[in-house]
Structure 1
Amino acid sequence: MSDALAPVLSRIDSDLEGALERLFELLRIPSISTDPANKDDCLRAANLLVSHLASLGAEAELCPTPGHPMVMGKIGSGSPHLLFYGHYDVQPVDPLALWDHDPFEPFIGEQNGEKVIRARGASDDKGQLMTFVEACRAWINEHGELPCTITFFFEGEEESGSPSLIPFMEANREKLAADIALICDTSMVSPGVPSIASQLRGMLKEEFTLKGPAMDLHSGHYGGPALNPLREISKLVASFYDEDGRVTIDGFYDGVHEVAPEQLAQWENCGFDETEYLENAGLSVAHGEKAYSTLEQQWSRPTLEINGLWGGYQGPGTKTVIPAEAHCKITCRLVGDQDPDVLRKALRAHVEARLPVDATVEWDLDLEGNPAAVMNIARPEFEAARQALSDEWNREAVFAGMGGSIPIAGYFTTILGLDSMLIGFADDDDRIHSPNEKYGLNNFHKGIRSWARILDALSKA
């Protein structure tokens, strides 16, 4: 441990209560970006972050967009120059009745004998964002400066599709220029196992309506002769998979690569508990591709998931109709070099080739996709950060895959030409996007200490 780092860690420990007070102030703001009723709340959260950055001595500014504002700030003059990204908006709290408490009145509770922070946004992403801000605060309060240069970049629309993000980044390339990007919006592979994401799955969204009769039909008059869109859409959905869990769409696996043996060996020793992972979801076995382990299915294999399937009468009781149309929502998680545009064409061709006579299909034309992202872990900064995490957690940190998609990592590459390092301290059971969200108090505390160590390590890398 360097002479400069030790007093910073001590200051973090002594100021934990202050750090919690500042986090709780942010958590009390219902910055739900998708609901227009919370527009002023999003602005309040953004302004609070501007004040936090200004208190560090950063050149902080509120940057208007057509939607919710961005927050930017810059501080320091040393090398390297780091760009840190987080988001201050949160998911809606519905269904409110399933919360055990007011989602915007944070408090310290307990779960399985561990202290946890309870509130919407505690884990996703306000708690994570503030671990970095508080690490910077400790460095500055102790030494009067940071060991490197940092540009802060906080978004207010991540939970509502980031409609302003790409135009803002394209218009502010110079302000966002840096040596590497840091993202704190991820989880650890297992409790207490610090993790750096080595790859992220991409995303393809699709939605279609299968149309049949000109109107809903009486099932007594037309039952039998009539084409039933619900029955036909069920056949289509079933045709997407074979008995071994593989997707049957022609060309679906083009661009998918097998994981290198040395990477698989690291994954096997990363502390992942398959039984616990499945039991947390109320499952006993994995239901994906039979030839691959649960961890491979989650991190390195593509998927096609049915997110919604509906049509016909949805009310109480019975209504004896054959519906005129049925609907399906799909998302595909992409890996490797899968091209979302090519895959979209293949998916649509698969459906259209199987339409029966008298059926037509109508596609949603406004849905987008993004490819997978693979991190450049050969850069020396990655190993420096991994060692810093290992020192803090007294456990070897791992390069882990991620089943989710974080489009900002790809945008940093395509728009700014930056590699991204994704480090987060959430646990898989934090219930992000769900009622009763939590963030481990120890994760918050050690997250701050971890970033302090990483800043020290990167300044020497």
Structure 2
Amino acid sequence: MNNAYRTYFKNHRDTHLKEMKELLSIPSISALSANKPDIKRAAEWLVDALQAAGLENVKMMPTEGNPIVYADWLHADSDITALVYGHYDVQPVDPLELWQTPPFEPDIRDEKIYARGATDDKGQVFMHIKAVEALLKTEGKLPVNIKFCIEGEEEVGSPTLEPFVEQHKDLLAADVLVISDTPMLEKGKPAICYGLRGLCAMQIDVKAATGDLHSGIYGGGVANPLHALAAILASMHDETGKVAIEGFYDKVQPLTNEERQAFQDLHYDEEALKKELNVGELYGEAGYSFLERTWSRPTLEINGMYGGFQGEGIKTVLPSEAHAKLSCRLVADQDPQEIQDIIEKHIQEHTPPGVQVNITRMDTGRPFQIPYNHPFIQAAMRAYEKAYEATPVLTRMGGSIPIVEGFGRLLNVPVILMGFGLPGENFHAPNEHFHLENFDKGLLTICEYLKELAQTK
């Protein structure tokens, strides 16, 4: 491994940590209007940092929401261009009393830095900037061309990012998109995520009489919306936990034998999970392991049900309405709108007489998947192996990051998800932190990855 930038990181570690603390001290909470000035301050901080690192064409670009920070360096001998995406906004900090130290007063203890945004995602964005800086300072050039696109609305769903990307396709054109916003498998075990589940959600509102009725006078003679809703929801799964909606699995890409074996080789401890969650048995679609169910199979979940009397004691009422919220996690090649269509058709076909049903469609996000043997993924594996001296694993994630698929679709580029956080680092929770071991090794990994990309055909 190149000693020049390794030495650079060692010699500048204290300075880099001081700078990262400056960024982490800015309360750039995108969900709160009161923090709008802090959003602008964080974007301005990044502009200064990118310029200081040696990037060019650095600018803060307006959107209908929060600004996007752009920068590039396009003088490489290689014709490959990498686009680095990240976000500078953070989650709210509530409940504040659970923080051991104030969330915007970064504190280093036990070789971890504690602050909101330490791992999600300011700390990881900062690493990419410093990796580029180190290469430019020690070698005078980068192995590949590079662009940065850092937004300020990821924690509120990135409402203006996709229109921005659509408008600036030429500016953002690249051969590969690199995102560091996913976790490693565990300490010392780097992971590259090659698939994310998509999302669709809906609300069901069931209505019967014009108002609540006396259950003694009307019970048994007028439809009960809670009963109707329970029947509709019960019809959506069979007794094994499989989704029982016609067409739901039609476009699902099955796991390959190689993928199933790779998941098995992770030796995931389902017994330990049951103890951690305090459940007697895990549950789900028959024939699949927990990892297969949560990484590669679609789901339909009831997220909430409500209606009727919910106060203390009993009230013998026949309620006039009932409600439920549903969400699905989707896998390649499922289309969120198509899934909403077939769920709506199923609901209409299974609605009992005497009630009216209204369906409201809500959030959607397409699933993302890249072939795990893609050359740019293999390059990332080599980079991790050099920095961590450990073979990285290939994983999928059960959650959804809709903009990942959007970026890949709009720019027609492969997306490489190579994160450096750990699952237990409390992102979105009190006492968020980032292990400095992964800060140090992550910087080396990013440098090695840019070099590997230059050799990739």
One-letter identity of the residue aligned with 2:21: F
Give the corresponding residue for 2:341. Answer: 345
Q: Distance in 2 between matches of 1:201 and 1:28?
A: 33
**Contact 2:380–2:418 (CA under 8 A) maintained in structure 1:** no
Give the corresponding residue for 1:108. Answer: 108
Give the corresponding residue for 1:34. Answer: 31
One-letter identity of the residue aligned with 2:15: G
Give the corresponding residue for 1:16. Answer: 13
User: Map of 1:184-223 to 2, 5 A cutoff?
Assistant: 184-219=180-215, 221-223=217-219
User: Map of 1:444-455 to 2, 5 A cutoff?
Assistant: 444-455=439-450
Q: Distance in 2 between matches of 1:394 and 1:274?
A: 27
Q: Distance in 1 between matches of 2:20 and 2:351?
A: 54
Matched, 1:433 2:428: yes
Q: Choose 426-435 or 246-255, whichever is displaced more.
A: 426-435
Matched, 1:235 2:268: no
CA separation of 1:415 and 1:230: change in aligned 2, threshold 3 A: same
**Contact 2:235–2:350 (CA under 8 A) maintained in structure 1:** no
Between Structure 1 and Structure 2, how many residues are aligned? 453
**Contact 2:184–2:421 (CA under 8 A) maintained in structure 1:** yes
**Contact 2:54–2:133 (CA under 8 A) maintained in structure 1:** no
Give the corresponding residue for 2:395. Answer: 400
- Deviation track 1:285-341 (CA, whole Å, cap 9, x = no partner) reads 422213100110111111112222223345566655443322222211111211222
**Contact 1:275–1:284 (CA under 8 A) maintained in structure 2:** no
Deviation of residue 125 (structure 1)? 1.2
> Structure 2 regions of 5+ residues with no counterpart?
none
CA separation of 1:438 and 1:236: change in aligned 2, threshold 3 A: farther
One-letter identity of the residue aligned with 1:35: L
One-letter identity of the residue aligned with 1:66: E
Matched, 1:77 2:80: no
Q: Choose 393-402 or 426-435, whichever is displaced more.
A: 426-435
**Contact 1:193–1:271 (CA under 8 A) maintained in structure 2:** no
One-letter identity of the residue aligned with 1:63: M
SS in 2 for 1:175: helix
Matched, 1:245 2:275: no
Deviation of residue 186 (structure 1)? 0.8
Tell me which of 362, 365, 378 is aligned to 1:370: 365
Q: Distance in 1 between matches of 2:421 and 2:382?
A: 19
User: Map of 1:149-160 to 2, 5 A cutoff?
Assistant: 149-160=145-156
Matched, 1:52 2:37: no
Give the corresponding residue for 1:65. Answer: 63
Deviation of residue 83 (structure 1)? 0.2
CA separation of 1:425 and 1:362: change in aligned 2, threshold 3 A: same
Give the corresponding residue for 1:293. Answer: 289
**Contact 2:158–2:403 (CA under 8 A) maintained in structure 1:** no
Give the corresponding residue for 1:93. Answer: 93
- Deviation track 1:75-101 (CA, whole Å, cap 9, x = no partner) reads 241122110001111122233344344
One-letter identity of the residue aligned with 1:103: P
Deviation of residue 284 (structure 1)? 5.3
Q: Distance in 1 between matches of 2:279 and 2:124?
A: 29
Give the corresponding residue for 1:324. Answer: 320
CA separation of 1:310 and 1:416: change in aligned 2, threshold 3 A: same
**Contact 2:26–2:38 (CA under 8 A) maintained in structure 1:** yes
Give the corresponding residue for 1:380. Answer: 375
TM-score w.r.t. the length of structure 1 is 0.92
SS in 1 for 2:245: coil
Q: Distance in 2 between matches of 1:279 and 1:127?
A: 32
CA separation of 1:452 and 1:273: change in aligned 2, threshold 3 A: farther
CA separation of 1:339 and 1:102: change in aligned 2, threshold 3 A: same
**Contact 1:205–1:332 (CA under 8 A) maintained in structure 2:** yes
One-letter identity of the residue aligned with 2:64: P
Deviation of residue 160 (structure 1)? 0.8
- Deviation track 1:227-286 (CA, whole Å, cap 9, x = no partner) reads 332333233222222221111111111111321111222222236443445555444542
CA separation of 1:453 and 1:209: change in aligned 2, threshold 3 A: same
Q: Distance in 1 between matches of 2:345 and 2:200?
A: 15
**Contact 2:387–2:442 (CA under 8 A) maintained in structure 1:** no
Give the corresponding residue for 1:270. Answer: 266
**Contact 1:197–1:401 (CA under 8 A) maintained in structure 2:** yes
Q: Distance in 2 between matches of 1:18 and 1:52?
A: 13
One-letter identity of the residue aligned with 1:8: Y
- Deviation track 1:151-195 (CA, whole Å, cap 9, x = no partner) reads 000111111111101111111111101111111111112332111
Matched, 1:418 2:418: no
CA separation of 1:363 and 1:56: change in aligned 2, threshold 3 A: same
Deviation of residue 40 (structure 1)? 1.5
Give the corresponding residue for 2:306. Answer: 310
SS in 1 for 2:441: helix
RMSD: 2.2
**Contact 2:101–2:107 (CA under 8 A) maintained in structure 1:** no
Q: Choose 327-336 or 316-325, whichever is displaced more.
A: 316-325
User: Map of 1:130-169 to 2, 5 A cutoff?
Assistant: 130-169=126-165
Deviation of residue 121 (structure 1)? 1.7
Tell me which of 168, 179, 182 is aligned to 1:183: 179
Deviation of residue 109 (structure 1)? 3.6
CA separation of 1:323 and 1:6: change in aligned 2, threshold 3 A: farther
Q: Choose 417-426 or 281-290, whichever is displaced more.
A: 281-290
Matched, 1:254 2:250: yes
Q: Distance in 2 between matches of 1:139 and 1:375?
A: 28
Q: Choose 268-277 or 243-252, whichever is displaced more.
A: 268-277
Q: Choose 128-137 or 281-290, whichever is displaced more.
A: 281-290
CA separation of 1:299 and 1:146: change in aligned 2, threshold 3 A: same
